[in-house]
Amino acid sequence: MLSDFENYLKLQTGLPDDAIQTVSGMAELRTLSRNEQLLTAGDICRHKVFVIYGLLRTFSTGTNGNEHILQFSPENTWTLDVESYDKQIPSLVTIEAIEPSEVLLWQRDNFNKILHDFPLLRQFSEQLIARNVHYSRQRIIMSLGATPEEKYEDFVRTFPDYLNRLPLRMIAGYLGISVKTLTRLRHAQLHR
């Protein structure tokens, strides 16, 4: 599975093979079972995470017990709690495997060294950060101004492969709507 990451890195960054070997060699490989937490709210995020296979979710839990899903991280994506990682403060979110997953973890100091030593990787990292900021901004705009129908249609358009991988409660938690509303929307969509 490490070769999947190495192929990804070669395609995305153009790093030479020896640099890719160095980057992957500094990572810890970890297998997660379904519902296993990689980061628990209240802990400090100490790793950058790359998902080799599987699906993770980042969420917070409200005082009423409702889960608010911030993002899903499928294979070939990176994830972490940025604020906790950067400031080394307790996380407000939990990162958990939705399905059996395999991830690579880099400790903060090691990843900073890698970024320093390999400018191509640093440039790629900055591009990923910019894309995430853009996506987060679009998501906030959608959250604030869209109807539940528009939110669901956008989700289906943006993440069509998630529909078969996620339970309805998680899709509803991501969209900020109730499961009842989501069920009604899906039913109406089937009858169009």
Q: Domain residue spans in the chain? A: 2-118
Fold of the 2-118 domain = Jelly Rolls (2.60.120)
Q: Answer yes or no: are the C-beta atoms of 120 and 13 closer than 8 Å.
A: yes
**Mean pLDDT along residues 77-101:** 97
What's the per-residue H, E or C state across 68-81? EEEEEEECCEEECC
pLDDT-derived band at 1, boundaries 50, 70, 90: low
What pTM was estimated for this model as a whole?
A: 0.92
User: For residues 65-81, b (16+ Cβ closer than 10 Å) or e, as one string?
Assistant: eebebbbbbbbebebbb
Over 80: is that where the pLDDT of 139 sits?
A: yes
Distance, in Å, from the CA atom of 59 to the CA atom of 133, rounded to the nearest integer, reads 17
Place of tokens 């970024």: 115
Q: Where are the beta strands (DSSP E) in 23-66?
A: 28-32, 37-39, 47-61
pLDDT mean across residues, the chain: 94
The first and second tokens of residue 108, run together, are 């903060």
Write out pLDDT tens, residues 38-74: 999 999 999 999 999 999 999 999 888 889 999 999 9
